[in-house]
Amino acid sequence: MEKVLNDKVTIITGAGQGIGEAIAKVFSAAGSKIVVATRTRENGQQTVDDIIAAGGDAILIQVDVGSKEAVFQTVEKTIEHYGRLDICVHNAAVFAIQSVEKLSDEDLDSTLNVNLKPAFWLTQASLPHIRQQEGGRLLFTSSVTGPTVAMPTTSAYAASKGGMNGFIRTAALELARENITVNGVEPGYILTQAMSLLADEEELREMASMIPNGELGKPEDIANTMLFLASDAASYITGTSLVVDGGRVISN
């Protein structure tokens, strides 16, 4: 792979598995040093070990992104270790499944605290360091659920991702003059470990049948889109969220 991120430093939240793990490995292959910021140490360490075994450079920072203090500390530890920061990817998320009527304040707060608020905190903490590089990238894993489509029992998740897209657009305007772009990716049905636990083989085949190209997406599909947005090739793109769903949205 071409080293389009050579020597850059990237923080990726939720990089212990699924989409976040794929982003970490794709960015590493493109030359970036990786900070795997994740809650589960075992998963995060496996991602780090895989990257190092492949010839990359990565460290693990165990963090609960639902804590503002912990997010700021993650950025500080990154600077202490690597001395710079170029790219931040907020990918960590939780998914509460409950009707609006029965949704608890605990589930609502947890969803917003993990999915949405860290977008603000990670941006606030990283900006002073990204500015020292005279430009950088802020990237976010959004979703088609919320900004583009609706699904019953996903109101908290949908609200968090809709809010994220609003944040992306506003932050992009505020930072455009500083060569700092702010973008997101909206995954559709992506076959991750988490999805495999939620659906059996028949349900997965049914989901795939609803997608125009006939198959579920792979975490690497999202990672490669993120890589494009992180690269110089996307320097004139900001304030947008790219839908990566195999055509599912446009088929409705």
Residues 43/119, Cβ–Cβ less than 8 Å? no
Q: How far apart are CA 243 and CA 225, in angstroms?
A: 10
Q: How far apart are CA 140 and CA 87, in angstroms?
A: 11
Active-site residue, 157 included = yes
- What distance separates the 2 farthest-apart alpha carbons in the chain? 51
Q: Which residue, 81, 71, 163, is CA-closest to 121?
A: 71
CB burial string 34-72: b at 16+ within 10 A, e below: bbbbbbeeebbbbbbebbeeeebebbbbbbebbbbebbe
Burial of residue 180 (CB within 10 Å: 0-12, 13-18, 19+) is buried
Active site (catalytic) residues: 157
